[in-house]
């Protein structure tokens, strides 16, 4: 085991590779993930800027008045209101299921998640942080099992959506929507969006190219 560890470290130094372990990925990004709450439901979001810009799914905020975001700052909480903030909706694209929010007057320095410029491949290990079934700040891990271009789906609202998505084996559930899908460097490569209710192996995240395109408009 010691020999294997030394060999990995030697290869890392020689090729300039930086290996990031799962606990590092979580520790690096947990504070960049928010809980989005409204009168009609909740979901996840990811902080992209210290100015308070938060990316999420449009279905998390649609028909969900009185939106607030809860920051993760390692409670104890004497008052949860000290960690929750009002937000404004800057823009959304329901056809791609993306929305950009802004936190109003954050009371503390915000941690951010870096958007990757690298397109992932089938078989890449990926990581998710979110709030499945209200189990807040839950970490899960899996692999990209397929990359699907112009994938079509609908929700109960009947709006037809089409976007490039990653199909993953990373477990997600209600409450994960809008949260980050991360690569093994801990950078954002997708937004966890929906799952096939009939199997835990077909989970879908909006791709990083869709994220970059949405943010650039």
| Residue in this structure with the two tokens 């950009």, named with its chain if needed | 100
| Residue in this structure with the two tokens 């998505």, named with its chain if needed | 165
Lowest mean pLDDT among 25-34, 65-74, 143-152, 203-212: 65-74
CB 68 within 8 A of CB 38: yes
134 & 205 share domain: yes
Number of domains in the chain: 2
Answer yes or no: is 11 within a domain. Answer: no
pLDDT in tens, 82-110: 678 999 999 999 999 999 999 998 877 89
82 catalytic, yes or no? Answer: no
177 catalytic, yes or no? Answer: yes
Task: Look up the domain containing 211 and give its range.
Answer: 125-216
Helix (H, G, I), strand (E, B) or coil at 163: strand
Q: CA 114, CA 52: separation in Å to the nearest integer?
A: 14
Q: Which of 44, 58, 85, 97 is catalytic?
A: 97
pLDDT in tens, 27-67: 999 999 999 999 999 999 999 999 999 999 999 999 999 99
Other CB atoms within a 10 A radius of the CB of residue 161 amount to 21
**pLDDT (0 to 100) of residue 7:** 40
59 catalytic, yes or no? Answer: yes
Answer yes or no: is 22 within a domain. Answer: no
pLDDT in tens, 169-203: 999 999 999 999 999 999 999 999 999 876 656 89
Indicate the pLDDT class of residue 4, thresholds 50, 70 and 90.
Answer: very low
CATH number, residue 86: 2.40.10.10
Q: CA 183, 185, 188: angle at the middle one, nearest 5?
A: 45
Phi–psi pair at 9, nearest 5 degrees: -65, -40
94 & 135 share domain: no
Q: Which of 58, 177, 184, 207 is catalytic?
A: 177
CB 148 within 8 A of CB 197: no
Rounded to two decimals, the pTM is: 0.88
């Amino acid at each position: 085991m010691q020999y294997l560890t030394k060999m990995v470290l030697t290869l890392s130094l020689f090729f300039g590779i930086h290996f990031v372990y799962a606990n590092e990925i979580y520790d690096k990004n947990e504070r960049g993930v928010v809980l989005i709450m409204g009168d009609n439901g909740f979901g996840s979001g990811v902080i992209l800027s210290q100015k308070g810009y938060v990316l999420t799914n449009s279905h998390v905020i649609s028909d969900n008045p009185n939106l607030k975001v809860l920051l993760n700052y390692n409670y104890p909480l004497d008052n949860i209101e000290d960690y929750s903030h009002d937000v404004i909706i800057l823009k959304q694209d329901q056809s791609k299921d993306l929305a950009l929010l802004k936190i109003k007057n954050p009371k503390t320095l915000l941690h951010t998640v870096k958007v990757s410029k690298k397109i992932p491949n089938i078989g890449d290990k990926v990581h998710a942080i979110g709030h499945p079934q209200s189990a807040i700040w839950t970490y899960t891990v899996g692999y990209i099992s397929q990359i699907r271009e112009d994938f079509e789906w609908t929700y109960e609202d009947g709006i037809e959506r089409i976007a490039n998505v990653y199909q993953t084996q990373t477990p997600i559930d209600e409450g994960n929507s809008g949260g980050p899908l991360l690569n093994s460097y801990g950078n954002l490569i997708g937004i966890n969006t929906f799952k096939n209710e009939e199997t835990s192996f077909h989970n879908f995240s909006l791709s990083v190219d869709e994220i970059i395109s949405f943010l650039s408009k």
